[in-house]
Structure 1
Amino acid sequence: MDSTAARRATEEVPSIPRDDNGPVFREPWEAQAFAMALALHERGVFTWNEWAQTLGDEIKRAQAAGDPDTGETYYMHWLAALERLVAEKGVATRDTLHRYRDAWDRACDRTPHGKPIELRETDFA
């Protein structure tokens, strides 16, 4: 991950969990979602203002649905915002996003703990 871009993102979106060295992640998928948002921003898919607004909307939506906002679900909101913007900007349809999410769920279900998860064509069935 480009450290300059990560630093700029933490300045533009102040809610990002971070320490003195930059963003912090509890799980690898959180870092991957962060990196995807950076890459899409750098490609001009959305501005940081659009990102911050969408992320804020997703956090508010989750809180209204009962999320206690302890910080543990922050990257779930990040992912929801990412999926929303990707669909709104026409990068991928919501159906495509759901298809891949379901495929990953199937792949996770059949993969023994500690083994790499691999998508197969049958996961899309």
Structure 2
Amino acid sequence: MTPERPFAEPWQAELFALTLALSEAGQFTWGHWTEAFGATLKRHGATRELDGNADYYAAWLETLEGLLDGSGLAPKPLADEMRDRWEAAYLSTPHGKPVRIAD
């Protein structure tokens, strides 16, 4: 991660943008987000020092998933099912072909 490239991985930028868009759409307030994220970081850092990159975005994702589950917007069982379907789709897609989730 450098000043020219604030995110180490593209998914981190996408996660940040998704969180911001959901907040701006009224799914949760930014204050609620920062409180929940702070609690997740505190819990993750209770047993070891965090690295500020992979640890940070793992906590970010966990927090967002928790907020979406709690609000009913993306309940954990549904999110888990979609993740599993996406994984099966990309693992079975030949390189260079579009990934499609089966109905």
Instruction: Measure, in 2, the Cα distance between the counterparts of 1:30 and 1:117.
Output: 22
Percent identity for Structure 1 against Structure 2: 36
What is the CA distance between 1:56 and its match in structure 2?
1.1
2:27 maps to 45
Q: Do the aligned partners of residues 68 and 96 (structure 1) sit closer, same or farther apart at CA in structure 2, a change above 3 Å counting?
A: same
**Structure 2 residue runs without a partner (length 5+):** none
Q: TM-score, normalised by structure 1?
A: 0.67
Q: TM-score, normalised by structure 2?
A: 0.79
What is the CA distance between 1:103 and its match in structure 2?
2.2
How many pairs were matched up? Answer: 102
* Structure 2 residue corresponding to 1:77, chosen from 47, 59, 64: 59
Instruction: Measure, in 1, the Cα distance between the counterparts of 2:75 and 2:24.
Output: 21
RMSD (CA atoms): 2.6
Given residue 70 of structure 1, which amino acid in structure 2 is its aligned partner? D
1:93 maps to 75
Instruction: Measure, in 2, the Cα distance between the counterparts of 1:90 and 1:18.
Output: 36
The answer to whether the 8 A contact 1:86-1:92 is kept is yes
**Structure 1 residue runs without a partner (length 5+):** 1-16
1:118 maps to 99
